[in-house]
């Protein structure tokens, strides 16, 4: 069914879809966080970097905004450029700017409420994206909750500023959809600018994922559809569409230049950013990393400082778990919808995640560790696959029962594999 015919139930009982997603995800976040706020007498603390960096950095940036010390700031180390030093900590994020409206004394108490807002915004943006593919409003709402409260989101709460990017990322895909299906220009450029200003480091990974998304969502299906068209005409249209997307991306980066340029200058001077993975490790992972991979997709996320099985401590943001459903319905959707672009995209992401040198493409091949901080992007597609499978099943309860059962077998096999590898290592 074409996306134009799918956004048919976005307004029920007087509330549009985005408002329902906002209320649903905000309420869920409130129920999850408010007990800790009450126990902390209005103050929300967690552990490690959340206490040692996130709260102090928010106070620093809030003070700098209010005093106008945005370039050189003497309160940072022995004095440093604030835009360069805080670009990774979302100094240009709309959430940071919103926090700047508050007095410094209110910032520590506002952080849990800002976290709730981030969960809610992630739910809204993912719901609006999902509505382009879902037949029913309830499916889009389910996708929004799965994405907003995925394992990646929960494990990233200790790195509070990561959640800004997860909240804004679906806007980039919405912009691409608008450009490539409706010819609406400007939205993709605006989304690129917003994400780049928010966190230039994460935006690099989003740009890489955007390329993958374009290839599997638009380019390959159009090539298959245009097999009967002359090669010259097909190539001309493909190049024109690609250039349109590139132009929007470049325009967005130019708009975000005020934050991008200082960020690039600051990042290139950091020794950690110049590290490269050893050639011998380009294509192989030790057994413990295979455990990380299986755990990331098939087991609920754990606190970074309290890993229960593989390691005592790990800060790699390694989780792509979908609450309640895990990978079962993702696998079922892939089995039921052979050749679907979402299936192909997730398959490509899994291959990239398993090959260290490819995994580092999301960091411009810089770094020495296997990271999974880009997993929130395929998580959105996995949430979509889960929602669409449930939607298809509700429409056709009697069909493909035997095929769908293989999803359970596959998920069970990976769980058994995880246990076997763990036993052999211990």
Bridge partners (DSSP) of residue 80 are 73
In the chain, % of residues over pLDDT 90: 40
Q: Which residue has the tokens 């007095």?
A: 103
Question: How many angstroms separate the most distant Cα atoms in the chain?
Answer: 69
C-alpha atoms less than 13 angstroms from C-alpha of 83 in its C-beta half-sphere: 17
pLDDT at 263 over 80: no
pLDDT, average across residues 106-121: 94
| Residue 5 confidence (pLDDT) | 43
| Residue 426 confidence (pLDDT) | 55
Average pLDDT, the chain: 83
Bridge partners (DSSP) of residue 12 are 15
| Residue 257 confidence (pLDDT) | 84
Express each pLDDT in 53-73 by its tens digit. 888 888 888 888 887 777 787
| Residue 409 confidence (pLDDT) | 59
Nearest Cα to Cα of residue 322 among 150, 120, 144: 150
Nearest Cα to Cα of residue 301 among 318, 289, 287: 318
Give long-range contacts, CB 8 A cutoff, 24+ apart: 229-234: none
- When mean pLDDT is compared across 105-119, 373-387, 411-425, the lowest value belongs to 411-425
CA-CA distance, 213 to 29, in Å (whole number)?
Answer: 29
pLDDT, average across residues 331-355: 93
Return the top range by mean pLDDT from 101-110, 126-135, 251-260. Answer: 126-135
Question: What tokens does 195 get?
Answer: 């994400």
pLDDT, average across residues 315-333: 86
The pLDDT-based confidence of 7 (bands split at 50, 70, 90) is very low
Question: What tokens does 360 get?
Answer: 């580092």
28 close to 119: Cβ distance less than 8 angstroms: yes
396 close to 228: Cβ distance less than 8 angstroms: no
Coil/strand/helix, residue 372: coil
CA-CA distance, 134 to 137, in Å (whole number)?
Answer: 7
* CA distances (Å), origin 144, targets 3, 139, 211, 249: 18, 9, 23, 26
* CA distances (Å), origin 215, targets 82, 87, 167, 238, 345: 37, 30, 23, 11, 9
**Residue-level length of the chain:** 426
Nearest Cα to Cα of residue 309 among 415, 388, 211, 209: 415
pLDDT at 88 over 70: yes
pLDDT at 110 over 70: yes
Instruction: Report which of residues 23 and 406 the model is more confident about.
Output: 23
């Amino acid at each position: 069914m074409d996306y134009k015919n799918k956004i048919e139930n976005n307004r029920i009982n007087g509330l549009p879809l985005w408002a329902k997603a906002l209320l649903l995800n905000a309420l869920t976040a409130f129920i999850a966080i408010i007990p800790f706020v009450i126990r902390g007498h209005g103050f929300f603390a967690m552990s490690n970097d959340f206490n040692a960096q996130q709260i102090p950095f928010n106070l620093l940036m809030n003070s700098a905004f209010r005093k106008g010390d945005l370039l050189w700031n003497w309160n940072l180390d022995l004095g440093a450029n604030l835009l360069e030093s805080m670009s990774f900590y979302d100094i240009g994020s709309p959430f940071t700017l919103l926090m700047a409206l508050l007095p410094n004394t209110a910032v520590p108490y506002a952080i849990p409420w800002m976290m709730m807002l981030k969960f809610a915004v992630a739910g809204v943006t993912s719901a609006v994206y999902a509505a382009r593919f879902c037949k029913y409003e309830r499916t889009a709402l389910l996708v929004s909750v799965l994405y907003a409260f995925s394992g990646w989101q929960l494990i990233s709460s200790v790195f509070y500023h990561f959640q800004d990017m997860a909240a804004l990322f679906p806007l980039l895909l919405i912009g691409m959809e608008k450009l490539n299906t409706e010819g609406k220009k400007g939205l993709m450029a605006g989304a690129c600018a917003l994400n780049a200003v928010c966190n230039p480091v994460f935006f690099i990974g989003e740009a890489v994922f955007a390329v993958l998304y374009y290839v599997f969502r638009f380019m390959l299906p159009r090539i298959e559809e245009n097999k009967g068209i002359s090669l010259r005409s097909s190539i001309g249209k493909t190049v024109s569409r690609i250039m349109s997307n590139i132009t929007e991306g470049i325009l967005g980066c130019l708009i975000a230049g005020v934050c991008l340029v200082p960020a690039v200058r600051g990042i290139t001077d950091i020794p950690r950013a110049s590290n490269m993975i050893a050639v011998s490790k380009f294509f192989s992972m030790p057994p413990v990393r295979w455990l990380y991979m299986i755990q990331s997709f098939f087991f609920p996320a754990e606190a970074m400082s309290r890993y229960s099985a593989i390691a005592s401590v790990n800060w790699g943001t390694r989780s792509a778990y979908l609450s309640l459903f895990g990978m079962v319905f993702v696998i079922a959707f892939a089995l039921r919808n052979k050749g679907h672009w979402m299936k192909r995209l997730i398959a490509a992401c899994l291959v990239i995640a398993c090959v260290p040198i490819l995994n580092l493409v999301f960091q411009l091949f810089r770094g020495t560790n296997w990271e999974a901080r880009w997993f929130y992007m395929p998580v959105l597609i996995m949430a979509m696959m889960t929602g669409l499978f449930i939607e298809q099943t509700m429409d056709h309860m009697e069909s493909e029962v035997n095929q769908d059962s293989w999803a359970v077998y596959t998920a069970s096999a990976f769980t058994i594999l995880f246990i076997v590898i763990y036993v052999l290592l211990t």
